[in-house]
Structure 1
Amino acid sequence: MKVAILAGGVGSRLSEETVAKPKPMVEVGGRPILWHIMKSYSGQGFRDFVIALGYKGEVIKEWMINYAPLSANLTVHTQSGTVEHETPEEIEDWRVQLIDTGQSTGTGGRVKRLKDYIGNETFMLTWGDGVADIDINELLKFHRSHGKLATVTAVRPPARFGLLEIEGDAVKSFTEKPQLGEGWINGAFFVLEPEVFDYVDGDETMWEKAPMETLARTGQLMAYKHPGFWQCMDTLRHRKILEDLWDGGDAPWKKYWH
């Protein structure tokens, strides 16, 4: 099953990082967040990726082309110019299609431009800027159980500030940036049937508008509730949250990595 990742946005709220590269290439722990997302899927058996490129897509192409050589031990023969690669055993076994979907295409338009590469089969979809400890196989099992066209992962939004539990004037407990106890939001980890392409009119379409609204109105959109960890990387503050978790050895999104 193919995993489609939208990686073409500008990332204007991360402008300090995205002047020279697209948002999915902003690093956490010395690796692009795109790599973290792909590791979460491949660790659960999904290794066939279709990545929708746009803004500075050439940066992602260069990273992917050089990924294996730069991860390998090299033997260079200076006179002949030949290079022998000793690929490490732990390098990921991925198949990655990198598709230019336009500079200013909407999220729905990018999805539709991947139609010929995905084919007439069920597929995964996510954005190139968020990580979670979702059990992807359970998500897929849920999708297949209801028989509808689309499943969205519903998540609890992270709180912006630490949560205080107060009795009188005394703080009884403090929880740093928990998932909120109430409300569900779009976590952008989807399982979709190929019929959803028909819900996208053209390049300008935003996936989160007419397609999702119509799918919901016609009873074709189901929610897989994920109460665990989820964090997008929209701002530098979000990036710092992820970086701190990684540096502290407590990165929940590594749960299913191998």
Structure 2
Amino acid sequence: MKVVIFAGGYGTRLSEETGTLPKPLVEIGDMPMLWHIMKIYSAHGLNDFIICCGYKGHLIKKYFLDFFHRSNDLTLDLQNNTVEVRRVATEPWKVTLADTGLETMTGGRLKRVRDYIGDETFCLTYGDGVTDLNITDTIRYHKEQGKLATVTAVQQPGRFGALDLSPDKTRIKGFREKSMSDGHLINGGYFVCEPAVIDYVIDDTTVWEEEPLKGLVADDELAVYHYPGFWQNMDTLRDKHVLQKMWDSGKAPWKVWDRPDGAQAAVNG
């Protein structure tokens, strides 16, 4: 199963870092946020990634082109122009790096990678949020619901759009602005989708969170997976500091790949 990651935005709320880097390359614990997200999926057996690049996308491409050499010890014989890898450590990842345009909106980015996705169920997320969500369970739930898409609903105070749920809490009725005082759930950004969701995207100007999600709601094709556990995005410098503090404590909740009991294998198909 493939994992699509939106990684092309400007990251303007994190301008202290994104003036020189795309937000997915901003580091937590000396590793890019993008690496953390991919490690979460990989812990559940998902290792085929499609990265939707845009702003400073060449730096994301360079990161992965240099990944093998960066991850290993090397001996360079400058006289003979040879390189010997002394310690082989890498990831089991296949990574497609797609230039989806500088000004393309999220929905447009998804449409541009349609050919890479193919005809199978895929996961979709943003390049700025981490969680200890059981990805395997979300995939299983999505298949049980039989809808075109499933969104993970999480609780988070602040400035995020809230989800209005159906009485039985298995469908989304609509979206609205969230206030600091309410306790409603928000879009946690971890989706499981069928390729047909891309039919809801009109063109490059389409925002995934607008016409496509609202269209799926109108057609009763958007299921919701409730997750009460850890979720945190990196939208501002304060968010980065919060995540860095968690990582420095040695108990980062999203570090599911390093748990003694391990993560479950992903659902096949």
The two structures have a TM-score, normalised by structure 1, of 0.89
- Aligned residue number for residue 109 of structure 2: 110
Deviation, 1:71, is 1.0
Return the alpha-carbon distance in structure 2 between the equivalents of residues 74 and 250 of structure 1: 31
Q: CA shift at 1:87, angstroms?
A: 4.5
May I ask how many residue pairs the two structures share in their alignment?
238
- In structure 1, C-alpha distance between the alignment counterparts of 2:122 and 2:69, rounded to whole Å: 29
- 1:10-48 superposed Cα distances (whole Å, 9 cap, x missing partner): 000111100111000111111110110000000111000
Aligned residue number for residue 157 of structure 1: 156
> For the structure 1 residues 138 and 256, does the alpha-carbon distance in structure 2 shift closer, same or farther, using more than 3 Å as the test?
farther
Whole-Å Cα distance in 1 between the matches of residues 29 and 257 of structure 2?
A: 18
Following TM superposition, by how much is the alpha carbon of 1:88 offset from its aligned partner in structure 2, in angstroms? Answer: 2.6
Instruction: Please tell me whether the aligned partners of residues 68 and 87 of structure 1 are also in contact (alpha carbons under 8 angstroms).
Output: no
- Do 1:109 and 1:204's aligned partners in 2 also have CA atoms closer than 8 Å? yes
Q: What amino acid is aligned across from residue 123 of structure 1 in structure 2?
A: F
Larger of the two Rg values belongs to structure: 1
Cross-structure match for 2:225: 224
Does 2:22 correspond to 1:22?
yes
User: C-alpha offsets along residues 176-225 of structure 1, whole Å, 9 cap, x if unaligned?
Assistant: xxxx9931100010000010110000000000000000101110000001
Instruction: Show the counterpart of 1:141.
Output: 140
In structure 2, the gaps of 5 or more residues are 160-180, 263-269
| Runs of 4+ deviating beyond 4 Å | none
What SS class does the counterpart of residue 119 from structure 2 fall into?
Answer: coil
Supply the distance in 1 between the matched residues of 2:234 and 2:18 (Cα, whole angstroms): 12
1:161-200 to 2 correspondences below 5 Å: 182-200=183-201
Please say if residues 157 and 183 of structure 2, whose CA atoms lie closer than 8 Å, have aligned partners that are also in contact. Answer: no
- Counting only pairs closer than 5 Å after superposition, residues 65-76 of structure 1 correspond to structure 2 as 65-76=65-76
Contact 1:158-1:231 at 8 Å conserved across structures: no
Q: CA deviation at 1:255?
A: 2.3
Matched-pair contact (CA < 8 Å) for 1:158–1:230: no
Alignment RMSD (CA, Å): 1.5
Contact 2:2/2:50 (CA < 8 Å) preserved in 1? yes
Q: Which secondary structure does the structure 1 equivalent of 2:66 belong to?
A: helix
Percent identical residues = 52
Output the CA distance in 2 between the equivalents of 1:28 and 1:212.
30
| Shift in Å, 1:85 | 1.9
TM-score, normalised to structure 2, is 0.85
Q: Secondary structure at the match of 2:209?
A: coil
Distance in 2 between residues matched to 1:139 and 1:181, nearest whole Å: 25
Which residue matches 2:176? none
Secondary structure class of the residue paired with 1:252: coil
Say if 2:36 is the partner of 1:36. yes
In the TM superposition, residue 61 of structure 1 has moved relative to its aligned partner by: 0.7
Asked if 1 retains the 8 angstrom alpha-carbon contact of 2:73 and 2:85, the reply is yes
Q: Is the 8 A contact 1:4 1:125 kept in 2?
A: yes
Q: Which residue matches 2:9? A: 9
- Supply the distance in 2 between the matched residues of 1:146 and 1:41 (Cα, whole angstroms): 21
In the alignment, the residues of structure 2 paired with residue 185 and residue 98 of structure 1 have an alpha-carbon distance, to the nearest angstrom, of: 29
User: 1:133, 1:256 within 8 Å by CA — same for their partners in 2?
Assistant: no
In the TM superposition, what is the alpha-carbon distance from 1:75 to its structure 2 partner? Answer: 2.1
CA distance in 1 between counterparts of 2:42 and 2:256 reads 12
Match of 2:80 in 1: 80
In structure 2, the residue corresponding to 1:253 is in which secondary structure?
coil
In 2: Cα distance, 1:74 partner to 1:158 partner: 46
CA distance in structure 2 between the partners assigned to 1:255 and 1:25 by the alignment? 20
Q: Partner amino acid for 1:208? A: E
Change (3 A) 1:30 1:158: farther
For each residue in 1:155-184, what CA deviation from the matched residue of structure 2 results, as whole angstroms up to 9, or x when unmatched?
011469xxxxxxxxxxxxxxxxxxx99311
Residue 54 of structure 2 corresponds to which residue in structure 1? 54
SS in 1 for 2:254: helix
Residue-by-residue CA offset, 1:32-89 (whole Å, 9 max, x unaligned):
1011000000011100000000000011111111111111121222222111223434
